[in-house]
Structure 1
Amino acid sequence: MKRHHLLATAALVLFAAPALSLAQTPTPTAKVTEKGQVAQQDMTFANKAAMSDMFEIQAGKLAQDQAKDQSVKQFGSQMVSDHTKTSDAMKEMAQKKSMTLPTKLDSEHQQKLDKLRGVKGEQFDSAYMQGQVDAHKTAVALFRDEAKNGKDADLKRFAEQTLPTLEQHLRHASDHRPAVASAGAAGAATQQGASIEKMMGKDVYGENGKKLGDVADIILDSQTGKATQVILNRGGVLGIGAKQVALDYNLLRADGDRVVARQVTEDQVKQMAEFKYDDNTVSLGKRNGDHNTGSTGGDAAHGTANSLDSTKPRNPQ
């Protein structure tokens, strides 16, 4: 009887042990709990925002040292100032929420920074401002999404408050980039050869000898300044069917006083969609300030392309 009593007591102790152990487990601290409450979406936002700030600060410092245009230097200085403020605010918030933020650039942003270090003067200005447009488009989209869909109240509020500044940066970069890019492209275009300039206004023919149109403008790569497309002026008949189309620059070759387009037929040109300028387009027409390049220089310089009228007189080049 005594033996059964001892066995029963041992069993009670054995089954009670887990409950006793759980009761003695320390309650998680508020710091750990707070970290656990940060959703993955908010963590992703915080990491990307921190990475963006680091890149903007380092790229802005490069602009202060390497830019040729004074306004680009000033823009870089503004980026260092504004993004240092948001970076400090994000670090303070991360510390309170026990979030670990990146402390160095990832490979993508480091490559962009290294590329900027490799150019100087006008070429730097062009590459930096183009990069600023691209980077701030990404940042604005990131902060808009967090402001709308964020789960953490503090991070969501931070996104809402920072978004207007980022949108202002984007507008400034977008407004300033075409002029800077054109200046940077000018030097590279000169290095590419005078043949680009000489091509302006010339008639373009297919390999079968039929005229396809004439050169109204030449589109340049915003960073290298090399010609990428030739804008062909299709006059139509009495203005009917008039339009501009873009041909690959590499398909054209000079032949005396005219230009020959290889592998391009009249029918293909007729089927092409009309070329449309936008605010970021860099071209010889914009660079030269020619508002009457071909029949649409004025439209080109203002970022639009309208139907052409071949009956309008061409200003001498």
Structure 2
Amino acid sequence: MKPRHLLALLAAASMLIAMPALAADSAQDFVDKAAIGGKFEVDSSKIAQDKAQDQSIKNFAQTMIRDHGAANAKLETIAGDQKLKVPTALDAQHQGDLDKLQNAQPPIDPAYVDMQRKAHADAVKLFESYARDGDNAALKTFAQQTVGTLKMHRQMIEKIAAAQDSITGATTPAVKTTNAPNAAALVPGANSFTETQAKSRIEDAGYSNVSKLAKDDQGIWRGQATKSGQSVAVGLDYQGNVVADSK
């Protein structure tokens, strides 16, 4: 019995010793994700303030710079008090998105809106989860205090996205009419579809494995896709027409 009791005590002691390390790892993970997300919000919004065309998007970008800048500073202070490291650079995925936005041809409004919708969906999920189950009291309080602002931001960007969709639908009916016949040929013109939107539109037209999308000098998205088991070249014009393309 004594050896068995001794083993039980040792196991319990090892668990107690391990708990702070696990807590620190979880808290550090939250700090990493929250800091990178916040930095991306600010950096992408600075680009949008400079390059976006719609004033409502510029105004939203200014709000992001202000609110996320303040939250980032608060997070840095709390993390420092908790002896946690705050990343100073974006990860590869966020940096890639930032580079795409910086190098995109105008208008960048749709691309920025898409990025903000995804970023805020991710941020709300992260902060809600940590506000509920967080293992660090100070960071948990920070998450609880911040998640309401993030939800407000999400509502704002969804409203802007709906307005943008309304404008696109009014000028390019093919985008909203999925059962309308496609044009026999792709129509050149200023294309406001982002790569993500172009891929989704092509998939809605019955294609799969859409890849290698690139916008040409006529404003037409061109890439490769699969339909009926065959690999084909496919194109999407500014009107939303999808055509198997020989080019």
What TM-score does the superposition give when structure 1 sets the normalisation length? 0.50
Note if 1:49 corresponds to 2:34.
yes
- CA drift at 1:141: 0.6
- CA drift at 1:40: 1.5
Note if 1:74 corresponds to 2:59.
yes
Among residues 143, 166, 185, which one is paired with 2:150 in the alignment? 166
Alpha carbons 1:63, 1:76 under 8 Å: kept: yes
- CA drift at 1:87: 0.5
Alpha carbons 1:126, 1:184 under 8 Å: kept: no
Alpha carbons 1:221, 1:228 under 8 Å: kept: no
Inter-CA distance 133–202: structure 2 relative to 1 (3 Å threshold): closer
Q: Letter of the aligned partner of 1:102 in structure 2?
A: P
* Distance (Å, rounded) in 1 between the aligned partners of 2:202 and 2:23: 49
**Residues 10-159 of structure 1 mapped to structure 2, 5 A cutoff:** 38-122=23-107, 124-159=108-143
Alpha carbons 1:51, 1:102 under 8 Å: kept: yes
**Residues 188-227 of structure 1 mapped to structure 2, 5 A cutoff:** 222-224=193-195, 226=198
User: What 5-or-longer segments of structure 2 have no aligned partner?
Assistant: 1-19, 183-190, 209-226, 229-237, 241-247
Alpha carbons 1:147, 1:160 under 8 Å: kept: yes
* Distance (Å, rounded) in 2 between the aligned partners of 1:37 and 1:87: 24
Report the secondary structure of 2:201's partner residue.
Answer: strand
Inter-CA distance 200–151: structure 2 relative to 1 (3 Å threshold): closer
User: What 5-or-longer segments of structure 1 have no aligned partner?
Assistant: 1-34, 191-195, 205-219, 231-245, 251-261, 264-282, 286-317
- CA drift at 1:182: 5.9
- CA drift at 1:175: 1.6
* Distance (Å, rounded) in 2 between the aligned partners of 1:167 and 1:248: 34
Alpha carbons 2:36, 2:90 under 8 Å: kept: yes
Q: Letter of the aligned partner of 1:65 in structure 2?
A: D
- CA drift at 1:249: 7.2
Alpha carbons 2:110, 2:192 under 8 Å: kept: no
Flag the structure with larger Rg. 1
Task: Encode CA deviations 1:119-166: one digit per residue, 9 max, x unaligned.
Answer: 2443x1101011111011101110011001111110000000000000
Inter-CA distance 66–184: structure 2 relative to 1 (3 Å threshold): farther
What TM-score does the superposition give when structure 2 sets the normalisation length? 0.63
The alignment-based identity, stated in percent, is 32
- CA drift at 1:178: 3.2
- In structure 2, the residue matched to 1:228 is 201
Inter-CA distance 201–155: structure 2 relative to 1 (3 Å threshold): closer
- CA drift at 1:106: 1.1
